[in-house]
Amino acid sequence: MNAKTHLLIVDDEEANRDMLARRLERHGYGVDVAASALEAMAALAARAFDVVLLDVQMPGMSGIEMLREVRSRFTQAQLPVIMVTARHESVDVVEALDLGANDYITKPVDLPVALARIRTQVSRRQAERALADSEERYALAVRGSRDGLWDWRIDVDRFFFSARWNEILGYPPEEATGQIDRWLDRVHPDDRERVRAEIDDQLAGRSSNFESEHRVRHRAGQYRWVLVRGAVVRDATDCPVRMAGSVTDITEGKVADALTGLPNRVLFMDRLGRLIDYRRRLGGMDFALLFLDLDHFKNINDTLGHQAGDQLLIHVARRLEQGLRTVDSVARIAGAERSASPVGDYTFARMGGDEFAVLLSGVRGVADAVSVAERIATLLADPIELEGQQVFTSTSIGIALSTTSSGPAADMLRDADTALYQAKAAGQARYAVFDHAMRQQVVERVQFETELRQAMDRREFVVHYQPIVSLSEHTVTSIEALVRWRHPARGLIGAREFVPIAEDTGLIVPLGYWVFDEVCRQVAAWSLVLPSLPRLAVAVNVSARQLAQADLPDRLAAIAARHGVPTRMLEIEMTESAMIANLDQVQAVVLRLKAVGFRLSIDDFGTGYSSFTYLQRLPVDRLKIDRSLLASEQESSPTALGILGTVVGLARHLNLEVVAEGVETPEQLERLQRIACGFGQGYVFLEPVAPDPMSRLLLSGGTSPSPAPYAEADLPA
């Protein structure tokens, strides 16, 4: 019994009124009494009642008249009225019911009957109140939400779509009802079977709640991603009769990349799939897929942090996006010469991580795709400003053409990825066009990578040594350590073949420490038998990856100390490109390397930026001029000659020692001596050799003045 239920008893006869009031109070009701219609109306104005018990016969305003008055203000649901009549007043009862009385009881009042009728009115009123509340809440929720609603009467297959559902899919709000097929027919063919299965599972009670993400066709033809949620209503026999729920448009989250706002992989693959479909059905219309991956992105992340990495991705996205808009005209100009039609549409998407993709429709051949790849390379040529630093970035690109790649979208992407892999392997900042032979090459390279990783554990690496010779005194002044891989099947493999791969995979870091340790061990061993050794330096190469590690100098110094080798006997060779990529960060490491006592040299000078300005910021001892500069002299063009001479002159001016790399012929040697280049290294003296022959060379007094060139064959056995 609800103690809060409040009744109003209206009766002019005091005895009746009070007795009924007392009895109802005993049953837990709150009761007010009124002796006349007027009094009753005043009471109704003063507070809310749940039920009115109204006497029909009253002097002055009768019960019937009062009922008329009540109904002009309250509906039956708002204020139930039970008429109380004498048995013979059946005419009044009919009139009262017509006027909107909810029920009646007769006098003398039979209490159980009265209680039953009151309870009925109270509970109906509560139910209606609850329904009104929930309807109101529901209406508010519908209005406030961006979701659409649906309601499926399973027994009669009548499907209700709310206005918002229709809006999501571009239909007018009036198209509110239909059959479930109106939904399912619009579901993307690739999703349809799954959605049906999900509904079936739900109806069969195999899933607890219904939640399905799928694509639905918009009226305009494109697909939207929706999340449909719902629940099943079952009848007494547990048979599903109704299913209802909500629908949310999740296209934005599904198809846009949160960081760059570009289309994401999902959308890209969707477009690619449709293009493939279209071409299969209607023929013609070739297209190309360009798959991009930023070079050395991991370095940026590792050295500058993830936030900077994100910024870089955003910059790259914006720059390419803006630049690609003009692709149309670029391709058209290129195409005009071949007098063909221009490239059509394109989609530019972020595929995840540092991967991007461009889908070009309407290409006429590989040249169109290549011109876009080249355009992308130029777009990224200028440095990007990141947290006050200039950062250079480049991208490798794999290209797949619809004419070469067949099969579903995923296959074409894999082909482009294969080409991308090939472009990376060829040395980054390049593009490669997929062909079928490539797949085999990639398989082989993956195999090579795996073996390289295992080579470390299998102790397959060895260090060879090559002398660096003073050109004026013909003495060995230092030795460069060069790593080799003793491959079980392929024999000795040079660094050029596997060091770049070790750099890509990160293996170069542990390998670098191993080489350094091995070199120190060797130097310590030589020291025992060679009193003249301390005048010699042994040079070890370090890669960009190693230079990015702040603790590199101290770890190297610790290794040297462990072998009892003074750091001044060791020279660290760093390539120009490794320095430039991130000068500020590298500078700290370089200064520290110097501080702990290592000699420093710049390797492969002349292949990259060949800038002297940064050299002034670094405590470098030597410059090693790349052999390409010397080799170009062969063409004996006066400009090439000039460049070599200028570099040597400038280096001398900066107080740097100069080593010419790759000296192969006596003519080259002579020319170097003419321009007063201090040192040389190359086959004309000696190729890199195993530790044993190098030991013999050193023992034979190679460090004292002796005639050059050396050849391994001439070394004492």
- The residues binding Mg ion (CB under 5 A) are 541, 573, 603-604, 661
Q: Which secondary-structure segment (H or E) carries 519?
A: helix 508-529
Span near ligand C2E by CB under 6 A; candidates 305-313, 492-500, 576-584, 696-704: 492-500
The phi and psi torsions of 90 (rounded to 5 degrees) equal -65, -30
Site map 440..469 versus ligand C2E, x via CB under 6 A: --------------------------x---
Q: Which secondary-structure segment (H or E) carries 626?
A: none
**CB contact set of 626 (below 8 Å; sequence gap of 6+):** 603, 604, 605, 606, 607, 661, 662
Contact (CB, 8 A) for 538 and 523: yes
User: Does residue 225 sit in helix, strand or coil?
Assistant: strand
Residue 416 structure tokens:
């482009």
Q: Pairing mode, if any, of strands 287-294 and 395-401?
A: antiparallel
**Of residues 626-645, which lie at the interface with ligand C2E (CB under 6 A)?**
627
What is the CA angle 129-73-25, rounded to 5? 60
Which residue, 11 or 604, is less far from ligand C2E as judged by CB?
604
Q: How far is the CB of 463 from ligand C2E (least distance, A)?
A: 7
Which residue, 278 or 609, is less far from ligand C2E as judged by CB?
609
Which residue, 17 or 624, is less far from ligand C2E as judged by CB?
624
What is the DSSP track for 78-147? TS-EEEEEETT-HHHHHHHHHHT--EEEEESP-HHHHHHHHHHHHHHHHHHHHHHHHHHHHHHHHHH-S-
Span near ligand C2E by CB under 6 A; candidates 142-150, 444-452, 646-654, 678-686: 678-686
Which residue, 320 or 469, is less far from ligand C2E as judged by CB?
469
Residue 171 contacts ligand C2E per CB under 6 A: no
CA 353 to chain centroid, in Å, comes to 5
Residue 661 contacts ligand C2E per CB under 6 A: yes
Residue 162 contacts ligand C2E per CB under 6 A: no
C-alpha distances (whole Å) from 354 to each of 49, 299, 376 are 70, 12, 15
Residues present in the chain in total: 717
Q: How far is the CB of 211 from ligand C2E (least distance, A)?
A: 53
The correct pick among 543, 567, 582, 695 for binding ligand C2E (CB under 6 A) is 543
Residue 520 contacts ligand C2E per CB under 6 A: no
Q: How far is the CB of 667 from ligand C2E (least distance, A)?
A: 13
Which residue, 463 or 557, is less far from ligand C2E as judged by CB?
463
Q: In terms of Cα–Cα distance, which of 418, 311, 291 is closest to 360? A: 291
Q: How far is the CB of 340 from ligand C2E (least distance, A)?
A: 44
CA gap 572, 469 in Å, rounded? 17
User: Does residue 297 sit in helix, strand or coil?
Assistant: helix
CA gap 636, 646 in Å, rounded? 15
Helices 495-505 and 508-529: angle between axes, nearest 10 degrees: 130
Query: At 553, which amino acid appears?
Result: P
Which residue, 50 or 661, is less far from ligand C2E as judged by CB?
661
State the binding partner of 512 from Mg ion, ligand C2E, none, CB within 5 to 8 A by kind: ligand C2E
Q: How far is the CB of 543 from ligand C2E (least distance, A)?
A: 4
Residue 683 contacts ligand C2E per CB under 6 A: yes
Residue 515 contacts ligand C2E per CB under 6 A: yes
User: Does residue 622 sit in helix, strand or coil?
Assistant: strand
The strands making up 395-401's β-sheet, listed across from edge to edge, are 346-352, 355-361, 287-294, 395-401, 431-433
Question: What letter would DSSP give residue 341?
Answer: P
Span near ligand C2E by CB under 6 A; candidates 394-402, 426-434, 636-644, 656-664: 656-664
Residue 571 contacts ligand C2E per CB under 6 A: no
CA gap 377, 398 in Å, rounded? 13
The phi and psi torsions of 427 (rounded to 5 degrees) equal 120, 30
Which residue, 140 or 426, is less far from ligand C2E as judged by CB?
426
Residue 427 contacts ligand C2E per CB under 6 A: no
Which residue, 355 or 573, is less far from ligand C2E as judged by CB?
573
Residue 660 contacts ligand C2E per CB under 6 A: no
The phi and psi torsions of 289 (rounded to 5 degrees) equal -115, 120
Contact (CB, 8 A) for 188 and 218: no
Q: How far is the CB of 505 from ligand C2E (least distance, A)?
A: 13
Q: How far is the CB of 685 from ligand C2E (least distance, A)?
A: 8
The correct pick among 301, 541, 582, 703 for binding ligand C2E (CB under 6 A) is 541
Contact (CB, 8 A) for 84 and 92: no
Site map 577..616 versus ligand C2E, x via CB under 6 A: --------------------------xx------------
Q: Which secondary-structure segment (H or E) carries 210?
A: strand 210-217
C-alpha distances (whole Å) from 680 to each of 59, 576, 714 are 132, 19, 19
Span near ligand C2E by CB under 6 A; candidates 98-106, 287-295, 389-397, 541-549: 541-549
Q: In terms of Cα–Cα distance, which of 191, 194, 32, 15 is closest to 109? A: 15
Residue 680 contacts ligand C2E per CB under 6 A: no
Which residue, 257 or 604, is less far from Mg ion as judged by CB?
604
State the binding partner of 334 from Mg ion, ligand C2E, none, CB within 5 to 8 A by kind: none
State the binding partner of 515 from ligand C2E, Mg ion, none, CB within 5 to 8 A by kind: ligand C2E
The correct pick among 184, 366, 367, 495 for binding ligand C2E (CB under 6 A) is 495
State the binding partner of 499 from ligand C2E, Mg ion, none, CB within 5 to 8 A by kind: ligand C2E
Q: How far is the CB of 684 from ligand C2E (least distance, A)?
A: 7
Residue 682 contacts ligand C2E per CB under 6 A: yes
Residue 499 contacts ligand C2E per CB under 6 A: yes
Q: How far is the CB of 500 from ligand C2E (least distance, A)?
A: 8
Which residue, 89 or 571, is less far from Mg ion as judged by CB?
571
Q: What is the dihedral of CA 149, 152, 158, 162, to 10 degrees?
A: 0
State the binding partner of 496 from Mg ion, ligand C2E, none, CB within 5 to 8 A by kind: ligand C2E
Residue 512 contacts ligand C2E per CB under 6 A: yes
Contact (CB, 8 A) for 262 and 350: yes
Q: How far is the CB of 286 from ligand C2E (least distance, A)?
A: 41
Residue 494 contacts ligand C2E per CB under 6 A: yes
State the binding partner of 335 from Mg ion, ligand C2E, none, CB within 5 to 8 A by kind: none
C-alpha distances (whole Å) from 69 to each of 37, 77, 89, 178, 276 are 10, 15, 20, 45, 75
Residue 507 structure tokens:
């293996």
Residue 662 contacts ligand C2E per CB under 6 A: yes
Which residue, 399 or 482, is less far from ligand C2E as judged by CB?
482
Q: How far is the CB of 573 from Mg ion (least distance, A)?
A: 4
Q: How far is the CB of 541 from ligand C2E (least distance, A)?
A: 4
Which residue, 321 or 497, is less far from ligand C2E as judged by CB?
497
**Diameter over CA atoms, the chain:** 146
Which residue, 52 or 590, is less far from ligand C2E as judged by CB?
590
**CB contact set of 514 (below 8 Å; sequence gap of 6+):** 456, 461
Written in H, E and C, the secondary structure of 396-431 is: EEEEEECCCCCCCHHHHHHHHHHHHHHHHHCCCCCE
Residues of this chain that interact with ligand C2E (CB under 6 A) are 466, 482-483, 494-496, 499, 508, 512, 515, 541-543, 573, 603-604, 627, 661-664, 681-683, 688
